[in-house]
Chains A and B, each alone.
Chain A
Amino acid sequence: MGVEGKSYPAVSAVIDPERVADFARAIGADPEDGVPPTFAAVYSLGATAPYLFGDPEAAVDFAKLLHADQEFEWERHPELGETVTSQGRVVSDIRRRGMRFVTFEAQTTGVDGSGICRSRTLFVIRS
Chain B
Amino acid sequence: MKRAERAVTFTVEQIADYAEASGDHNPIHLDGDFARSVGLPGIIAHGMLQMGVLATVAAEAAGGGRRLRRLYCRFAGMVEPGDTVTFAADVTEPGEPVLTKASAEYL
Contacts and interface: CB of A to CB of B under 8 A. Distances in A.
Nearest to B38: A63
B68 A69 contact: no
Given A19-B21, A33-B65, A63-B28, A74 B52 contact: no
Interface in A43-78: 45-46, 62-74, 76-77
A22 B65 contact: no
A123 B87 CA distance: 23
Contact of A23 (B22, B26, B34, B73): B22
A59 B29 CA distance: 21
Main secondary structure of the interface of A (DSSP, over half): mixed
Given A63-B28, A77-B66, A23 B55 contact: no
A41 B22 contact: yes
B48 A70 contact: yes
Counting chain A residues whose Cβ lies within 8 A of the other chain, the interface size class is 20 to 34
Given A25-B17, A28-B8, A77-B66, A36 B55 contact: yes
B69 A73 contact: yes
B70 A26 contact: no
A108 to B, nearest CB: 14
A99 interface: no
Contacts of B51: 38, 41, 70
22 contacts: A23-B22, A26-B21, A26-B49, A26-B52, A27-B18, A27-B49, A28-B52, A37-B58, A37-B59, A38-B52, A41-B48, A63-B34, A64-B38, A69-B72, A70-B47, A70-B73, A70-B75, A71-B73, A72-B70, A72-B71, A73-B69, A74-B70
Interface of B: 6, 8, 14, 17-18, 20-24, 26-28, 34, 38-39, 46-49, 51-53, 55-56, 58-59, 64-66, 68-75
Q: Which 8 A-B pairs have the closest CB atoms?
A: A27-B52, A26-B21, A69-B74, A71-B72, A22-B21, A23-B21, A67-B47, A38-B52
